[in-house]
Each structure stands twice: as C-alpha cells, then as structure tokens.
C-alpha cells in the first residue's frame, strides 16, 4: 500500500467514527492548549519584568555606596569602619573612563511642594544634565537642565506630569515658581508621562540640579551614580573601570557596590524562566494523559474493527500495512489535536493579552514547538502498541468476530 | 499438475485439556479450473479446510503445495502475497468495510497491491459494470441489499484476477432467489477458468458443482471424483 493510500485509508477511518475522533482530538488539543497558554502566562510575566527593568535605560550600571553583601565579609571594611560616601566628583571621574558614555549622579529625598496654596508630598531627585538621556525619559514641555545649571545651584526644576496636573491643572507650569521645602524653583520643563521605574513613580517627582538638592537636604553625598556604558559589549569594561576609579579615589578601598543591569535582569530572567519551565512541565503532564487516552481509544478501535483487520489480512495485507494504517490514524488524530490545541492556545493567549494589556502573554517558540512535538510523539508512541496488536491478530479468528 | 495438493494434513485445536481434531489425515488434490463443493455436517471441518487452502491458517502436520510450490513453509508476509495475487475470498457475512462505498470496498485489494489510482478506478468501474452495480458505486454497505453486498464482495474477490476463489457459505445470509443469482455469478467465473471451491450446507447448491466432497469429523468421507 502506498503512503498516500495509507493516509487516505486512515483519514476515512478517523472520519468514520466522528465521536471517537472528536474526543481524542479534544483531549490532545486541551493538552497542547494548556502548554501554550500557561507558558504564555509565565513568559509574559518574565517579559513584563524584563521590560520594566529595560525601561530604566539600556547598558546601565548602578553604583551604590557601601560594600555589598555579595562580596561576603571583608576584614578590610571592618577595620576602616564606615564606607566613604559617593560624591559628584566621583561621578565626574567615572565619566572620563573610556568605556563610559555618560553618568548621572543622583540624590533622592522627600519634601513638600507648594504652589498658590496647593500642597503635595513629592519625591525630590537631584540630577544632572545627562539624567534625562540616561534614563531615556522624554519631556512633554520645556527643556531639561543645561550642564551649567546642573553644576551650580541654579534654582530651576523639572516636574512630573502628575505634579503638574495636581498643582497647576490646566495652567501652564513653565516659568512658574514652585516652592519645594523652603526654597523656590523656577519650572523649566515637564516630563512626559512614563510611569514606574527605579522603584518610584516618575510622574510624581520634582527634579532639581543635584547641588541644589544636596543643599536642600544638607548633604554632599549621593544616593546612586547611574553609569551608562558605551554599548552592550562595553558594560563589563565600564564596570571594571568604574570600580577601579572609585577604588583609587577612595584610597584603595573597594567600598562601593557596582550592579550591572544585566546581572539583575539575568536573575529575574532565570527565576521567571524556571517558573515558565515548571508550568510547561505541569501542562505537559496533561499531554501524557492525552497520550494514554490515545492508546486506549486506539485499542478500542482495534477491537471494534477486528473483523475489518481480518478482512484486510484475507485480502493479502501484510502485518506492516495494517500496523502502518493504525499508526497513521493515531498520528493523524494527534496531529489534528495538536493543531487545534495550538489554535486554542493562541486564542487563549490573545484573550489573556486582551484582559491584561500590560502582560505580553506570547507563548515562547520553544514551548510551542515542544508542545506540538510532544503531542505528535506521544500520539505515535502510544499508537504503536494498539497498531502492533492489530497487525498480530490471527486472521481466522479476526474474521470470525463480528 | 494440480493447483492444490494437500497430503497428510492434520489440524488440531486445543481447548483447555481437550484436543479437537478439526482435520485428520486429509489428502486432497484440486486441478486448476475445477468447481468443487465441500459439504458435511456442522463442525466437520469444512471451514478449517477452506482457511487452510486460503493460507489463513497453517496445518499442524502435512504438506500443502499450491501451484506446485510448498506454501506451508512460507513466511506470513509471503503467504499474504499469495493471497493477494492468487486467491479471492467470499464470506457468508460479506465482510465489507462499513464506512467505505461499494467502489472503495472493491478497490481495497488493488490498493493493498499498490496499483495506481488511475488504473484502480478503471478496473473498479469495469467490475461494477460486470456485477450490475454501476448505479451503486457510491453507496455504503448499509445502503445495499444482501444480494448487492455479496455482489460487491465477489467483485472484490475477483478484482485481482485470482486463480482460486474460496467461498464459505456464500448464500448463507441470502434468500433462495438471491442465493441462486450469487451462485450463478460464481459459476460464470468458474466457467471463465477460475478454480471455485464452495462450502455449503445446502445439498441442492452442492449438487450444482462438478465435484462434491463430503466431510465428517475432520476427514474426507466421500469424493465424487
Ligand atoms: N479456533 C478454534 N479453536 C478451537 N476449536 C476450533 C476452532 N476453530 C474450529 N474449531 C473446531 O474445529 C472443528 C471444525 O470446525 P469448522 O469451523 O471447520 O467446522 P465447519 O464444518 O465449518 O462447521 P459449520 O458448518 O458449522 O461452519 C469444530 O469442532 C470446531 O469446534
Ligand atoms: Mg464453517
């Protein structure tokens, strides 16, 4: 029998028993759909977190004061006591490193902002001219600090959209004078809406020149220095150079922590990736169950069609032909189930995206391929036993059964 | 040279402790083109003999030469090939595949033999016409009468132009008139040179054959030749 005929024969057999075929396709498709939807969910969560971090700006290195836990207990630190603070001069020194494109020293505090009697708690960020570019932020109106403004203590401010709408309403904010704490700042820019990032809502901040903010909080230390490397490949050299510069400037002591965004991302990526695999594994169990169902249904089919198998033998079909016909049928049913399940899964993922627009719930390619392959392989594998049983039937006994 | 030569055939079925000698010390020789009726009471071994001749079953002892070749030693697949190319079966219960149309049922042996769809269609069309089924080509078995079903089965048995047709009670499920008609079709085939072996209970039907063989308890008790 030619492969085409085998396939056609199997198709006729599958369509000849619609209920059985429907149930089998249903079982298989539920398994595949479960894998597709659940991995879409898991991978969507992973991508959501990764995107959130990427929103911080790319090729980012974060310098924080103090030796981090990751290095373990360092006796040198114990002797010298408190670590040295980070300063604006540190940031300027880092900017000169070859692998570094720009830096943004920041200081953070909270204060109250008032404008014509309206008062609001705000997060005050002290920053320099490069902050905007480094954070990939956009302005809705006005301009950001110039280099001169950010180096001095010029009383200018850039505000978040929410501050603008709450304190100024529809009035233009540019050029107005805003009171922050007991100081007065002329507003020169309004940030475009951007949402969450770096643990604070960028729409609710007031950005001041770093020196002005330090003066306001009566400090000359920094909260962080954000460093942008010249490219992806430059992240590692930039990290090393940053560390080297700060070590030199801090009398040979490594009293800062340098985190690359990549490292943070990689950790999250790993955790959520593992989660996705776990979920995929659980969903795969339903595929195995579907495989067992395929086997039972095919065994029933062999019993049901014993007379037909006897006839085929009498007509001179060798065992292999009968085996192939039943295998083709199992493969056909699982393939159909896999395709239907894939469509259902994609529909489910689409529904997820519609219900939760922030979640990029797309099933990863590997999951789709794995689900389809598993469906086909389990279908075939579990189809082998019934097919062999059919091929081995004794023709006389098979014929006598009706 | 006989078409079929059975010598010293034994077929024993064991049911639990007891052994049933379905065939015992059986010798039989059939020439090509013969028309033979096998008769005898129920349980006498007629079907067992027919299954042996049709290579659906193997003897426990003895030799079977088909077309001057020892076929008892052939592998299952080699025997399948002999069935496919040289032997046609007609059963009491027709054994049509219920989901396939008359034409598809008739085409089954051609499909199993790997014959091109175009030639298949041609030969099936011819067979449908020969057996008066031209207007029933697309009907499924449950849409056919008993006589029509058996005609489809005979068309299927002959589509490969076999040397031998084996029919086990071919009229058993048919009324007298329809049975007569089916027998006439088989006899026409025999007339055209096909060896025909019919198992029957019916003495009148058996009498139509040129040679009658009577079985009893697994042995040949009478042979009209
Ligand atoms: N598979 C089997 N297992 C056990 N015994 C069997 C088997 N097939 C046939 N027999 C026995 O062998 C003997 C001959 O059976 P067979 O079917 O050849 O009889 P038959 O002449 O065709 O009878 P009938 O006219 O009723 O069809 C019977 O006693 C039967 O019970
Ligand atoms: Mg019988």
The per-residue pLDDT for range B43-75, each reduced to its tens digit, is: 999 999 999 999 999 999 999 999 999 999 999
Cα gap B3→B65, rounded to integer Å:
8
Q: How high is the pLDDT of residue A56? A: 60
Tokens of residue A17, six digits = 């028993």
DSSP H or E run through B10: strand B4-15
Three-state SS at B108: helix
C-beta of B44 in contact with ligand 1 (< 6 A): yes
Q: What CA–CA distance (Å, rounded) separates A384 from A379?
A: 9
- For chain B, give the mean pLDDT: 94
What is the CA(A308)–ligand 1 centre distance, in A? 21
A80, A222 contact by CB (below 8 A): no
Query: In ligand 1, which atom is closest to the CA atom of B11?
Result: 12
Domain assignments of chain B as residue spans, ordered by start: 33-50+81-223
Are A247 and A253 a contacting pair, CB within 8 Å?
yes
Q: Residue B159: which residues within 8 A CB-CB, separation 6 or more?
A: B106, B107, B109, B110, B123, B124, B127
Q: Which residues of B touch A310 (CB under 8 A)?
A: 95
pLDDT at B115 over 80: yes
For residue A335, the cross-strand partners are none
Q: Which two tokens stand for residue A77?
A: 């630190």
B-chain residues within 8 Å CB-CB of A312?
A: 108, 112
User: How far is A42 from B139, CA to CA, in rounded Å?
Assistant: 53
Per residue of chain A (402 residues), give pLDDT as tens: 899 999 999 999 999 889 888 988 998 898 889 889 988 988 888 888 777 766 666 688 888 888 765 444 444 444 445 667 889 889 999 999 999 999 999 999 999 999 988 888 999 999 999 998 888 888 888 999 888 887 777 889 999 988 888 888 888 889 999 999 889 999 999 998 876 555 567 788 999 999 889 989 988 889 989 999 888 788 889 989 998 999 888 888 888 888 887 777 777 778 888 888 888 888 778 878 888 888 888 888 889 899 999 999 999 999 999 999 999 998 998 899 999 999 999 999 999 999 988 888 999 898 889 888 888 888 888 889 899 999 999 999 999 875
At the second CATH level, the architecture of B33-50+81-223 is: 3-Layer(aba) Sandwich (3.40)
Confirm or reject: Cβ of B47 under 6 Å from ligand 1: yes
Which residues touch B64 (CB under 8 Å, ≥6 apart)? B4, B5, B6, B9, B52, B53, B70, B71, B72
Say yes or no for a CB contact (<8 Å) between B111 and A313: no
Residue pairs between chains A and B whose CB atoms are closer than 8 Å: 66
Number of CB atoms found within 10 A of residue A278's CB: 12
Q: Which helix (H) or strand (E) element contains residue B179?
A: helix B176-191
Which of B12, B18, B45, B167 has the most ligand 1 atoms within 8 A of CB, as the residue to mutate?
Answer: B45
Indicate which ligand has the atom closest to the C-alpha of B51.
1
The tokens describing A207, both together, are 């950005």
Closest atom of ligand 1 relative to the B49 alpha carbon:
18
Classify the phi-psi angles of A309: left when phi > 0, otherwise alpha if psi is within -120 to 50, otherwise beta.
alpha
Contact (CB<8Å) A310/B82: no
CB B92 near ligand 1, within 6 Å: no
Contacts 24+ apart (CB under 8 A), A160-165: A160/A190, A160/A191, A160/A201, A160/A202, A160/A203, A160/A204, A160/A205, A160/A206, A161/A190, A161/A191, A161/A192, A161/A193, A161/A203, A162/A201, A162/A203, A162/A204, A163/A113, A163/A120, A163/A122, A163/A203, A163/A204, A163/A205, A163/A206, A164/A190
In chain A, count H helices and then E strands: 14, 12
Could you report how far apart the first and last alpha carbons of chain B are, in Å? 16
Query: Regarding beta strands A60-65 and A224-229, do their DSSP bridges make them parallel or antiparallel, or are they unpaired?
Result: antiparallel
Count the neighbouring beta carbons within 10 Å of the beta carbon of residue A19.
7
B71 neighbors B64 (Cβ within 8 angstroms): yes
Closest-lying ligand to the alpha carbon of A398? Answer: 1
**Ligand 2 center to residue A213 CA distance, Å?**
106
CA A49 to mean position of chain CA atoms: 5
A-contacting residues of B 43-62, CB under 8 Å? 51, 54, 56-57
Residue B18 beta carbon below 6 angstroms from any ligand 1 atom: no
C-alpha torsion sign, points A197, A201, A207, A213 = negative
- Residue in A121, A123, A119 with CA at minimum distance from that of residue A109: A123
The position carrying tokens 């992240």 is A235
Cβ–ligand 1 distance for B19 under 6 Å, the answer no
A1/B89 touch (CB, cutoff 8 Å), yes or no: no
Interchain CB contact of B181 with A (< 8 Å): no
Best of B43, B97, B109 to substitute, by most chain A Cβ atoms within 10 angstroms, is B97
Are the C-beta atoms of residues A247 and A254 closer than 8 Å to each other? yes
What DSSP letter does each residue of B57-104 carry, written as one string? S--SEEEEEETTEE-TTS-HHHHHHHHHHHEEEE-TT----TTS-HHH
Residue A313 CA to ligand 2 center (angstroms) comes to 19
Q: Whose CA is nearest to atom 24 of ligand 1?
A: B42
Distance CA A180, CA B153 (A): 100
Q: Which bin fits A365, alpha (ψ -120 to 50), beta or left (φ > 0)? A: alpha
Q: Atom 5 (ligand 1): residue with closest C-alpha?
A: B13
Searching chain A, which residue's CA lies closest to the CA of residue B106?
A315
Tell me the ligand closest to B49's alpha carbon.
1
B45 lines ligand 1 (CB under 6 A): yes
Query: Which pLDDT tens digit goes with each residue over B31-50?
Result: 999 999 999 999 999 999 99
Task: Say yes or no to pLDDT of B190 above 80.
Answer: yes
The per-residue pLDDT for A354 is: 92
Closest listed ligand to the CA of B167: 2
Maximum Cα–Cα distance for chain A, whole Å? 104
Exposed / middle / buried, residue A182 (Cβ in 10 Å: 0-12, 13-18, 19+): exposed
Q: Is the pLDDT of residue B218 over 90?
A: yes
How many residues are recorded in chain A? 402
Q: What is the rounded CA–CA span in Å between residue A96 and residue A225?
A: 14
The pLDDT value given to residue A58: 67
- pTM of the entire predicted model: 0.71
Dist. CA B100–CA A68, nearest whole Å? 77
Q: Does an H or E element contain B186, and which?
A: helix B176-191
A381 or B112, which is more confident: B112
Q: For chain B, how are helix, strand and coil distributed in percent, rounded to 5?
A: 35, 30, 35
Q: Does B221 touch chain A (CB under 8 A)?
A: no
CB atoms within 5 A of ion ligand 2 belong to B 47
Cβ-proximal residues to A107 (8 Å cutoff; 6+ apart), any chain: A125, A126, A210, A213, A214, A217, A219, A221, A222, A223
Enumerate residues 6+ apart whose C-beta is below 8 A from B86.
Answer: B66, B67, B162, B163, B164
Residue of A nearest to B49 (CA): A396
Closest approach of B214 to chain A, Cα-based (Å): 22
Q: Under DSSP, is residue A208 helix (H, G, I), strand (E, B) or coil?
A: strand
Q: Please determine, for residue B111, whether its predicted confidence score (pLDDT) is greater than 90.
A: yes
Give the pLDDT score at A195. Answer: 61
Q: Over 80: is that where the pLDDT of B132 sits?
A: yes
Instruction: Tell me the chain B residues in contact with residue A1 when contact means C-beta distances shorter than 8 Å.
Output: 111-112, 114
* Short-list A205, A211, A214, CA closest to A187: A205
Other Cβ atoms closer than 10 A to B106: 29
pLDDT at position A199 is: 55
Q: Which two tokens stand for residue A147?
A: 């280099």
Instruction: Tell me if A1 and B111 make a contact (CB, 8 A cut-off).
Output: yes
DSSP assigned state of A167: I
Give me the residue from A12, A319, A396 closest to B99, CB to CB: A12
Q: Which residues of B touch A13 (CB under 8 A)?
A: 99
CA atoms within 13 A on the CB side of B28: 32
pLDDT at B200 over 70: yes
Look at ligand 1, atom 3, and give the residue with the nearest C-alpha: B13
How distant is the Cα of A313 from the closest Cα of chain B, in angstroms?
A: 7
- R_g (Cα) of chain A, nearest Å: 33
Interface residue of A316, A325, A392 to substitute, partner B, most B CBs within 10 Å: A316
């Amino acid at each position: 029998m030619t492969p085409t005929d085998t396939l056609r024969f199997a198709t006729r057999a599958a369509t000849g028993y619609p209920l059985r075929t429907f149930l089998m396709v249903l079982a298989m498709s539920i398994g595949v759909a479960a894998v597709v939807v659940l991995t879409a969910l898991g991978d969507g969560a992973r991508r959501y977190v990764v995107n959130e971090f990427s929103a911080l700006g790319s090729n980012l290195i974060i310098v924080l004061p103090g030796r981090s836990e990751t290095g373990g207990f360092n006796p040198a630190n114990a002797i010298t006591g408190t670590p040295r603070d980070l300063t604006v001069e540190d940031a300027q020194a880092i900017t000169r490193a070859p692998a570094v494109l720009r830096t943004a020293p920041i200081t953070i505090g909270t204060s109250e902002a008032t404008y014509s009697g309206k008062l609001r708690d705000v997060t005050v960020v002290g920053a320099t001219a490069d902050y905007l570019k480094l954070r990939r932020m956009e302005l809705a109106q006005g301009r950001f600090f110039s280099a001169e403004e950010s180096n001095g203590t010029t009383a200018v401010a850039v505000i978040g959209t929410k501050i603008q709408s709450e304190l100024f309403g529809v009035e233009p904010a540019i050029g107005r004078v805003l009171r922050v704490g007991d100081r007065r700042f002329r507003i020169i820019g309004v940030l475009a809406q951007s949402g969450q990032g770096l643990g604070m809502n960028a729409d609710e901040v007031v950005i001041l020149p770093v020196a002005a903010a330090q003066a306001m909080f009566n400090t000359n230390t920094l909260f962080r220095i954000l460093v942008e490397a010249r490219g992806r490949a430059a992240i590692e050299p930039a990290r090393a150079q940053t560390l080297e510069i700060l070590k030199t400037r801090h009398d040979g002591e490594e009293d800062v922590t340098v985190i690359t965004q990549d490292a943070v991302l990689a950790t999250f990526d790993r955790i959520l990736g593992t989660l996705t695999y776990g979920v995929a594994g659980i969903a795969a169990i339903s595929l195995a169950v579907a495989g067992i169902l395929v086997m039972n249904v095919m065994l029933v089919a062999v019993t049901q069609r014993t007379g037909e198998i006897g006839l085929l033998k009498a007509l001179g079909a060798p065992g292999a032909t009968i085996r192939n016909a039943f295998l083709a049928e199992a493969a056909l049913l699982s393939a159909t189930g896999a395709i239907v399940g894939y469509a259902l899964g994609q529909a489910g993922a689409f529904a997820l995206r519609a219900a939760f627009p922030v979640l990029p719930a797309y099933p990863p390619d590997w999951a789709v391929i794995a689900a389809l392959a598993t469906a086909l392989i389990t279908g075939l594998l579990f189809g082998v036993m019934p097919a062999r049983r059919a091929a081995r039937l004794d023709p006389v006994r098979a014929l006598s059964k009706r | 040279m006989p078409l079929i030569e059975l010598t010293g055939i034994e077929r024993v079925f064991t049911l639990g402790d007891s052994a049933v000698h379905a065939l015992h010390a059986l010798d039989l020789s059939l020439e090509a083109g013969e028309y033979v009726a096998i008769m005898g009471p129920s349980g006498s071994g007629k079907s067992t003999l027919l299954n042996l001749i049709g290579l659906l079953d193997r003897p426990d002892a003895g030799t079977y030469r088909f077309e001057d070749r020892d076929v008892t030693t052939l592998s299952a697949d080699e025997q399948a090939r002999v069935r496919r190319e040289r032997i046609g079966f007609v059963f009491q219960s027709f054994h049509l595949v219920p989901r396939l149309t008359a034409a598809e049922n008739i085409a089954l042996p051609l499909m199993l033999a790997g014959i091109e769809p175009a030639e298949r269609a041609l030969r099936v069309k011819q067979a449908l016409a020969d057996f008066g089924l031209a207007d029933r080509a697309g009907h499924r078995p449950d849409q056919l009468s008993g006589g029509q079903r058996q005609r489809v089965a005979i068309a299927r048995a002959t589509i490969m132009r076999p040397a031998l047709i084996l029919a086990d009670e071919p009229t058993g499920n048919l009324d007298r008139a329809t049975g007569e008609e089916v027998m006439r079709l088989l006899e026409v085939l025999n007339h055209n040179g096909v060896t025909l072996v019919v198992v029957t209970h019916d003495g009148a039907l058996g009498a139509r054959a040129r040679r009658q063989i009577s079985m009893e308890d697994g042995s040949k008790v009478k042979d009209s030749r």
